[in-house]
Amino acid sequence: MTPVKTDLANVKVGEEISSIDGIVDGYKTYQVLRAGLELGLFEWLDEHGPSSREEIGNALSINGMFTRSFLQTLAELGYLSGKNDRFGNTVNATRFLVRKSPSYQGDWILNASQEHGQWDCLKDTLTSAAPKNTGFSDGPSPKFLRALAERSLRGEVQEVTKILTGWDGFSSAKTLLDLGGGHGLYAIAACQKNPGLHAVIFDKPHVIDLTREFIRHYGMEDRISVMAGDIVTDDPGSGYDIVIISHLLYKFRAELPSIFKKVEASLKPHGLFVSNHWFCGPVCGTGSSGVKELDRSIHSYGHPLCHPEEFASEMFKNGLVVMKKAVITTNFGDALVHLADKVPVGERRLPIHHESCGCESCQ
Ligand X SMILES: C[S@@+](CC[C@H](N)C(=O)[O-])C[C@H]1O[C@@H](n2cnc3c(N)ncnc32)[C@H](O)[C@@H]1O
| Residue 103 CB, nearest approach to ligand X (Å) | 16
| Residue 135 CB, nearest approach to ligand X (Å) | 9
CA distance 37 to 40: 5
Instruction: Using alpha carbons, list the distances in angstroms from residue 200 to 220, 238, 242, 330, 333.
Output: 11, 11, 10, 25, 29
| Residue 148 CB, nearest approach to ligand X (Å) | 5
- Cβ nearer to ligand X, comparing 209 with 230: 230
Within 10 Å of residue 222's Cβ, how many Cβ atoms? 9
- Cβ nearer to ligand X, comparing 56 with 177: 177
Contacts with ligand X, residue ranges (CB under 6 A) = 136, 140, 145, 148, 152, 180-182, 203-204, 207, 230-232, 246-248
CA distance 252 to 207: 18
| Residue 181 CB, nearest approach to ligand X (Å) | 5
Pairing of strands 333-342, 267-277: antiparallel
Q: Which of 126, 41, 121 is nearest to 88 (CA)?
A: 41
Q: Which of 116, 53, 117 is nearest to 87 (CA)?
A: 53
- Cβ nearer to ligand X, comparing 248 with 284: 248
| Residue 335 CB, nearest approach to ligand X (Å) | 9
CA distance 227 to 216: 15
- Cβ nearer to ligand X, comparing 148 with 306: 148
- Cβ nearer to ligand X, comparing 111 with 152: 152
